[in-house]
Amino acid sequence: MTLLEMRGVRASYDGVQALHGMDLGVAEGEMVALLGANGAGKTTTLRAISGTVAVEGAVVLDGRDITGWPAHRVARLAVGHVPEGRGTFVDLTVEENLTLGVLARGSRMRGQVKEDLAAVHDLFPILREFSGRQAGALSGGQQQMLAIARAILGRPRLLLVDEPSLGLAPMVTTEILRSLRVLQAEWQLAVLLAEQNARRALAVVDRAYVLESGRVVAAGSAAELRENTAVQDAYLGAEQTGRPA
Amino acid sequence: MTELWQQILSGLGSGFIYASLALAICLVFQGTGAVNFAQGVMATASAYVAWTLVTRGMPFWLAFVLALVASFIVGALIERVFIRPVEGSSPLVMLTVTVALLIGLQAVVALIWGDDPQQLESPFGGGSVEVLGARLTAQQLGAAAVVLVTLLLAGAFFRFTTLGLRMRAAAQNPASARLLSIDVGRMLALGWGLAATVGAVAGVIFAPTLGVSPAMMDSSLLLALAAATLGGFESRVGAVVGGLVLGVAANLASRYVPGIGSDLQLVVPFAVIFLVLLLRPQGLFGRASSVRA
Amino acid sequence: MTGAPTRTVVEPPAEKGNEPTVSMSHALPPAPRVGLRTLSWGAALVVVLLLAALAPANVISDFQFFQLNRVITFAIAIGGLNLLLGWAGTISAGHGALFGIGAYTTAILVADHGVPWPIAALASLVVGLVVGALLGLPALRLGGMNLGLITLAIAMLLPPLLTRLDWLTGGPFGKTTPRVEAPEGLPFSSPQWLFLVNLVVLAVVFWLLANMLRGRMGRALDAAASSRVMAAAHAIPTNRITVAVFAVSAAVAALAGALFHLSTRTSTPDSFTFLLSISLIAGAVVGGSRSFVGAIIGAAFVVFVPESLGEFVEPAAAGQWQQVVYAAALLLVIYFFPRGLAGLVRQARNRLVRRRSIHARPQEAQS
């Protein structure tokens, strides 16, 4: 059952086109990666879905055309977005950040809040320990965990995650991706994960799309893409050839 | 000593006007990044609304509440209509818009109610009370109490309610707030409405002392701006404390410093600000954030 | 004045136009290359206005010259303010007061000490420079917004101070100076003569400011305004530059105030309230705070728009309706031209230039 579908989506910033007809789909409860180099359009694809960039074409969520909807209305359809830069509310406490996540679920699953919070705290114990601290005081990895926790506490059906590994140590990235996978399975989330580090992403996702210059250039199951030599040459080598710290 | 105490208390009295206007300015600034020069004249309009209702025979407190409700609605509308088109613009553009609002609203107030000063009867009667040896009028005491309650309520609202949390989130990181299904535009309008209401409390409750006239809030506005600077524009508590400090400082100066009469009492608050900013450029309560690129 | 013979009318500009033409010939050629094209436009505008000054009195009345003088003096002050708003990335809510300080300095020197007005005006400039430096000093520690609010203080304090110091300033009645007459033999009324003087000052001041901004100072300012971190990384002394710019800007405002006083002849404390400071900021934003043409447009806006409605409404409420219209006009300009009206002029000029470059050749060939 398709949850999200994008057909011929184009988007641009200040006249510079970033997406040139993007077509992709995500099924319910599925974890999908968007792979590609810097500027391939991964972030823009996520933003096109969550309504934070103006688009042409069609973005369909659960049979409903949400093209051009403002971001807060898309979010109310249970779309969570862990944005580039983590979107931390730096002056609020960790607890308040998480409360905002809970508030985002609106009237859905109100009875679940306590258990969900407990689950999130089990997954990221550091967030319980630092719950009274200002979120701005957390480290980058902790803020990334906070961002994911905040988004999933909204109980999304579709979770968009933008480069969780950016600027983090490999150990931390692995831990975060693994946690994401655990949650995804437990809560039946559909996850769309934008990730430059293809090897890491392919280790956890079901399927992936490879983007280049704002278009899909390859797609397939994680296993297929791992075997695909062209993809390997282009993207899986990325780790050896110096990634941004 | 009693004399000093007396001066401090009456300074605190006017300090409450600056504190509430400063809080209003601070709320607007946090939300929309605009230094609202029209905050004072908005409070003036509220005072006129209350005055009109009272002269039509309405009891003071009912008129007070209705004026607050009207102020809330008008404040939110002003954000929707006038601020929205320039949302996210440079501070300079924002400033010019609020200046235009100041000029326009001041004229509209004068067109509707005329230039002549009006009197509003004090709801606290004409009595006076002795507080630890100082004599305060019931109006002074009552007005201060009402403003104090308002400030505490505003504080509690932001700290303990989910709507308050949403508003803080929207002010602090609008892009991220939107992703959490917060309608940022509505929060900003609410912020302006709330700011207008806080300002209106000061405008109406102090109207019996200030007199109701188009210019009644002019000097208070400037002191409130000073107070917001003193407290750091980012800090609500700081704005309130700043207002109170300036009220006392101005009053003491005009009384005790030779050569400074009521016309020049503004010298002292600015001297205070000057000193504070030299020592703590981020204001008394502002966070020492590093330069944002 | 009206029936002045043609010969004498032609003569003075050759004489008086000396200064501006010199400055223009310097300013014109390099301007397009360096990108300060607005300056060449400013120069062109000056020429047009200069011609206007020669028009007989039935075309432009003395009162209209008086109004134009207000525009020009405001334009000079706004040009100075633009240094802060457009380049230094800071704000002054006290330029109306600096303008007032300049006006009073000239008024006092001329009225009480018999100083000739040109020297008095220069004294205003110096006083402005000193006051500006003193006010700019806190910039050593403060960022943009705080500096702006510090300047609020002098905007607020000047009027009561002027009233209080009546032994110096004449108290609430202010100071009045005699009319400035054109030198013997020149066929100009006082407003006309001042108009020419003001134009010359405008041209010289803007030329000097443009030169200053074109040099190292301008680049340093741009760097400092766009990112203090970057500026610090390149060892640009941000604070010292800001103080210097503030002082220059204040000096320009004070000079403008001096000229303003020479036109109005009477300065009272309530001529220089906080509202004047605000008007100057509004003028800068309306015109475009990075443009000297914008300064002139903004000044014209601030002077003419509030008065334009006066004739259409009943006199009792005229002032208020003017304010409403003024506010509405301000808002409209900001909504539709957030970078100022000067951008509009630039567009029109570009279109014109393009069209001319198409049509110009055949004409040139013919002539």
Strand partners, A10: A20, A56
Q: How far apart are CA A239 and CA A223, in angstroms?
A: 18
In a domain, B292, yes or no: no
Task: Name the residue range of residue A102's domain.
Answer: 86-154
pLDDT at C16 exceeding the cut of 50 = no
- Chains with ≥3 Cβ pairs under 8 A against B? A, C
Count CB-CB contacts under 10 A for residue A223. Answer: 11
- B209 sits in which H/E element: helix B207-210
pLDDT at C316 exceeding the cut of 80 = no
Q: Which of B223-237, C38-52, C131-145, C197-211 has the lowest mean pLDDT?
A: C38-52
Could you write out the three-class secondary structure of C6-28? HHHHHHHHHHHCHHHHHHHHHHC
Give just the sign of the alpha carbon dihedral A182, A186, A187, A189.
Answer: positive
User: Could you tell me which residue, C68 or C9, shows the higher pLDDT?
Assistant: C68
Res. C64 pLDDT band, cuts 50 70 90: confident
From the list C317, C328, C338, the residue facing B89 with the nearest CB is C338
Report the pLDDT value the prediction gives residue C141, as an integer from 0 to 100: 61
Cβ contact C229–B293 (<8 Å): yes
**Length of chain A (residues):** 245
Measured torsion, CA atoms of residues B186, B189, B195, B197, in degrees rounded to the nearest 10: -90
Report the pLDDT value the prediction gives residue C253, as an integer from 0 to 100: 97
DSSP secondary structure letter of residue C171: G
- Among all residues of chain B, which has the CA nearest to that of C224? B293
What average pLDDT does the segment C242-252 reach?
90
pLDDT at A237 exceeding the cut of 90 = no
**Length of chain B (residues):** 293
Report the pLDDT value the prediction gives residue C280, as an integer from 0 to 100: 92
pLDDT at C80 exceeding the cut of 60 = yes
Res. C357 pLDDT band, cuts 50 70 90: low
Residue of A49, A50, A61, A72 for testing the chain B interface, max B β-carbons within 10 Å: A72
pLDDT at B186 exceeding the cut of 60 = yes
- C181-205 pLDDT, tens digit per residue, is 888 887 788 888 899 899 999 999 9
Cβ contact C156–B82 (<8 Å): no
Cβ contact A87–B181 (<8 Å): no
Residues in CB range of A217: below 8 A, 6 or more apart: A210, A211
Report the pLDDT value the prediction gives residue C31, as an integer from 0 to 100: 34
Q: How far apart are CA C238 and CA B223, in angstroms?
A: 29
Count CB-CB contacts under 10 A for residue C203. Answer: 26
Res. C56 pLDDT band, cuts 50 70 90: low
Phi, psi of B71 (to 5 degrees): -65, -40
- B226-246 pLDDT, tens digit per residue, is 888 877 777 888 889 989 998
User: Tokens at residue B262, please?
Assistant: 């009521």
pLDDT at C32 exceeding the cut of 50 = no
Res. C18 pLDDT band, cuts 50 70 90: very low
Cβ contact C152–B233 (<8 Å): no
Res. B147 pLDDT band, cuts 50 70 90: very high
CATH code: domain of residue B86: 1.10.3470
In a domain, B22, yes or no: yes
Cβ–Cβ < 8 Å for C309, C318: yes
C167–B contact, CB cutoff 8 A: no
In a domain, B285, yes or no: no
Report the pLDDT value the prediction gives residue C9, as an integer from 0 to 100: 34
Q: How far is A97 from chain B (nearest CA, A)?
A: 9
User: Which residues of B fall within a CB distance of 8 Å from C145?
Assistant: 35, 91, 229, 233
What average pLDDT does the segment A75-86 reach?
92
Report the pLDDT value the prediction gives residue C265, as an integer from 0 to 100: 94
- B45-69 pLDDT, tens digit per residue, is 999 999 999 999 999 999 999 999 9
User: Tokens at residue B260, please?
Assistant: 């400074």
Report the pLDDT value the prediction gives residue C178, as an integer from 0 to 100: 92
User: Tokens at residue C111, please?
Assistant: 């009225």
Report the pLDDT value the prediction gives residue C12, as an integer from 0 to 100: 36
Report the pLDDT value the prediction gives residue A236, as an integer from 0 to 100: 57
Q: Which ipTM score applies to this complex? A: 0.89
Cβ–Cβ < 8 Å for C17, C50: yes
Res. B253 pLDDT band, cuts 50 70 90: confident
Task: Name the residue range of residue B83's domain.
Answer: 2-279
pLDDT at C48 exceeding the cut of 70 = no
Q: How far apart are CA C229 and CA B198, in angstroms?
A: 38
Strand partners, A81: A160
Report the pLDDT value the prediction gives residue C249, as an integer from 0 to 100: 94
Q: How far apart are CA C177 and CA C192, in angstroms?
A: 18
pLDDT at C274 exceeding the cut of 60 = yes
- Among all residues of chain B, which has the CA nearest to that of A151? B180
Q: Per the structure, how many domains does chain A have? A: 1
User: Could you tell me which residue, B82 or A229, shows the higher pLDDT?
Assistant: B82
C145–B contact, CB cutoff 8 A: yes
Interface of A with B in 46-105 (CB under 8 A): 50, 52, 70-73, 75-76, 80-81, 83, 87-92, 96, 99-101, 103-104
Res. A38 pLDDT band, cuts 50 70 90: confident
In a domain, B35, yes or no: yes
In a domain, B291, yes or no: no
Res. B113 pLDDT band, cuts 50 70 90: very high
pLDDT at A33 exceeding the cut of 90 = yes
Cβ contact B104–C327 (<8 Å): yes
Residues in CB range of C363: below 8 A, 6 or more apart: none
- Chains with ≥3 Cβ pairs under 8 A against C? B
Q: Which amino acid type is present at position A240?
A: Q
From the list B162, B179, B182, the residue facing A50 with the nearest CB is B179
With pLDDT > 90 as the criterion, what percentage of chain C qualifies?
29
User: Could you tell me which residue, A164 or C361, shows the higher pLDDT?
Assistant: A164
B158–C contact, CB cutoff 8 A: no
B181–A contact, CB cutoff 8 A: yes
Cβ contact A150–B184 (<8 Å): no
pLDDT at C360 exceeding the cut of 60 = no
Cβ–Cβ < 8 Å for B195, B36: yes
Cβ contact B264–C324 (<8 Å): no
Q: How far apart are CA B71 and CA B48, in angstroms?
A: 11
Q: How far apart are CA A61 and CA A2, in angstroms?
A: 8
- C286-303 pLDDT, tens digit per residue, is 898 888 889 999 999 988
Report the pLDDT value the prediction gives residue B256, as an integer from 0 to 100: 82
Phi, psi of A3 (to 5 degrees): -95, -45
From the list B165, B176, B184, the residue facing A87 with the nearest CB is B176
Closest CA to C27 of C53, C50, C45: C45
E-strand spans in C177-320? 266-267
Report the pLDDT value the prediction gives residue B130, as an integer from 0 to 100: 83
Res. A208 pLDDT band, cuts 50 70 90: very high
User: Tokens at residue C241, please?
Assistant: 């530059």
Res. C91 pLDDT band, cuts 50 70 90: confident
Q: Per the structure, how many domains does chain B have? A: 1
